[in-house]
Amino acid sequence: MERKTRQRREFKKKQTEPMDEKMQRLIAKIRTDLCDSIIPISLTRLSPFERKQIHREFDRDPSVTSKTYRIGEDEYELRLYPVTNLRKYAEKKAEEAIQSGQKVVLPPMSSYERFIIHEALKNNEAIKANSYGEGDERHIELEPELFGRGLRKIMKKIKLF
């Protein structure tokens, strides 16, 4: 029993220790890379403790989402998504589509990135966002709505068309 208690104390001590210089540099580099980018950062070859430290650092930041994916038997990939930048990008492209009156095609994205963009634009009634393509080529097309979703809802209620 004493042994387990000692192991827990050592583990908690290790968790509360300040990050080493290598991890601080890595986190600073990640922050600068994510600053103005819409592209997620992918990190492999991290120990479980390093992944946990990075998760803990970025879980406090609402502008970044961290996700871990299993890519092999003992291999994991940590991805950091710049959520705020993706939302701003989606709103900018939606405004571009509305101003031009033509559809705007966004570059291929992962499913989570597409989810963020769809969530950012779901309340914008002037734009229609649809995903097209297969696999790695799946992308979003933004089309301006002629009358918006509100008119369709009204038409369904009064059943004119």
pLDDT, tens only, 5-32: 665 666 555 555 667 899 999 999 999 9
118 and 136, same domain (yes or no): yes
Residue 25: its H or E element: helix 21-34
Q: Is the pLDDT of residue 113 over 70?
A: yes
Closest CA to 93 of 65, 116, 67, 112: 116
pLDDT one-digit tens code per residue, 121-130: 999 988 999 9
pLDDT value for 158: 75
pLDDT value for 125: 87
94 and 61, same domain (yes or no): no
| pTM score of the predicted model | 0.76
| Domain of residue 129, residue span | 84-158
66 and 28, same domain (yes or no): yes
Residue 34: its H or E element: helix 21-34
Residue 122, domain CATH: 3.30.1370.50
Q: Are 79 and 51 in contact (CB under 8 A)?
A: no
pLDDT one-digit tens code per residue, 68-98: 999 988 899 999 999 999 999 999 999 999 9
pLDDT value for 55: 93
60 and 6, same domain (yes or no): yes
pLDDT one-digit tens code per residue, 54-74: 999 999 999 999 999 999 888
55 and 18, same domain (yes or no): yes
Could you give the CA distance from residue 3 to residue 23 in angstroms, rounded to a whole number? 30
pLDDT value for 32: 94
Q: Are 106 and 117 in contact (CB under 8 A)?
A: yes
pLDDT value for 16: 56
